[in-house]
Amino acid sequence: MSDLGTKARELDSADELAPLRDRFVLDGTVYLDGNSLGALPANVPDRIADVVRRQWGELRIRSWEESGWWTAPERIGDRIAPLVGAAPGQIVVGDSTSVNVFKALVAAVRMARTDGGARTDDGTGGTRDRDEILVDATTFPTDGYIARSAARMTGCTLRPVTPAEVPGALSARTAAVLLNHVDYRTGRLHDLPSLTAAVHAAGAYAVWDLCHSAGALPVGLDEHGVGLAVGCTYKYLNGGPGSPAYLYVRRELQDRFDSPLPGWNSHAEPFGMRPDFEPASGARRGRVGTPDILSMLALEAALEVWDGVPVEAVRAKSLALTDFFLECVVAYVPDGRVTSLTPVPHGERGSQVALRCADAGEVMKRLIERGVVGDFRHPDVLRFGFTPLYVGFADVERAARVLAEVLR
């Protein structure tokens, strides 16, 4: 066995999280695509069977109350809360990330405009509303598309800037800033505490997209004063294909959260069936229509794999996995065939490694044929996601070894 093979075995035997792998359904594949679709937690199939056969099949309409369907969005939000550093009562689950980006961004603009001092001197003695939204220029496309539409609807200009440029781009015009905690392509981790503070100091609101950080590293929403955040649950939270997303609204802002999608589920009295809208209090204000119960309850079961698992331990293993992968790539892959786009400093790295590579699409196909599953991101990126709950160090060594074989 090679030196790195031996090292992998040693790292695996010292890994306290290694037994968690048994909480998932896995085969002999090295699965490094949990940053796109997390693996299936072993308890989900039976739970879903019960939800379908008993809760729906037998209890039918009674399940909205007796099986806790009606309150699932807030209950499951409270289950996600500790993973992203939030106290209970601030997260609601439902809709897609795209829809929650829309809700949060429009609500952020509305709040910025109703804050004291929001109207600024326009230099001619007149006043001007906050009329600019900054968006991460490198964002996953859906956020950019939604931000453009939100800007049009609120009469704002949309200004794409890199996260590093945000502090210099903020002004008295800025209403809201849409940022990613971890970049989906490079795996770069952005500085959430300092960017949030800078946005707030400018009198604006930051909306954080946590898709690529929640479940992989501590986020600290409450601690860092974040106002609004969204994220998906099908990556590191393993909720399943199309599992519902979530919306965090900081407690102090909840009474001012003015949703652009007020539906009957966010009404103070949904069954009052009244023509006038009166918003519910608390996290429920972020709901819209009837929750997607089957997906939601699959997610609830999936979150049980986190019982007794501190997110700090997950982060430590994630960094060890990505460090080890980079080490193996340097050792095995012929010089000059790949370039890492992922930052080396731990403080700037999420839980994936992105390698720029000629013919990346073809290379990824060959990797998948050989049992190493990552993904290809246009135009030239091989992306490998490391989910510490089920990826081990031997997987990492094998992935780098197979990559080297494919590239040789």
Ligand X SMILES: Cc1ncc(COP(=O)(O)O)c(C=O)c1O
Binding to ligand 3DJ (CB under 6 A) within 172-231 occurs at 184
The reply, when asked if residue 129 is annotated as ligand binding, is no
Residue 25's DSSP bridge partners are 40
Of 270, 265, 269, 248, which is closest to residue 257 (Cα–Cα)? Answer: 248
Question: What single-letter amino acid sits at 219?
Answer: V
Radius of gyration over every alpha carbon of the chain, rounded to an integer in angstroms: 22
What string marks each residue from 87 to 126 as x (binds ligand 3DJ by CB under 6 A) or -?
----------------------------------------
Q: Does 292 bind ligand X (CB under 6 A)?
A: no
Find tokens 């802002």 and name the residue.
253
- Residue 383 is a catalytic residue: yes
C-beta of 95: minimal distance to ligand X in Å?
A: 8
- Residue 256 is a catalytic residue: no
Query: How many residues can be counted in the chain?
Result: 408
Strand ranges for 196-274 from DSSP E:
205-209, 228-231, 246-249
Of 384, 369, 406, which is closest to residue 185 (Cα–Cα)? Answer: 384
Contact at 8 Å (CB) between 122 and 128? yes
Is omega for the bond preceding 193 within 30 degrees of 0, making it cis?
A: no
What string marks each residue from 129 to 148 as x (binds ligand 3DJ by CB under 6 A) or -?
-----------x--------
By C-beta, is 350 or 388 nearer to ligand X? 350
The reply, when asked if residue 143 is annotated as ligand binding, is yes
Q: Which of 33, 74, 132, 209 binds ligand X (CB under 6 A)?
A: 209
How far apart (Å, rounded) are the C-alpha atoms in residues 400 and 331?
Answer: 9
C-beta of 91: minimal distance to ligand X in Å?
A: 15
Q: Residue 236 is inside which H or E element, if any?
A: none
Nearby residues of 192 by Cβ (< 8 Å), 6 or more positions away: 179, 181, 208, 219, 220, 224, 226
Q: Which of 29, 43, 67, 96 binds ligand X (CB under 6 A)?
A: 96
Positions marked catalytic: 140, 209, 234-235, 383
Give binding residues for pyridoxal 5'-phosphate as ranges: 97-98, 140-143, 209, 212, 234, 264, 290
Interface ranges with ligand 3DJ (CB under 6 A): 36, 140, 184
Interface ranges with ligand X (CB under 6 A): 96-98, 140, 142-143, 180, 184, 209, 211-212, 232, 245
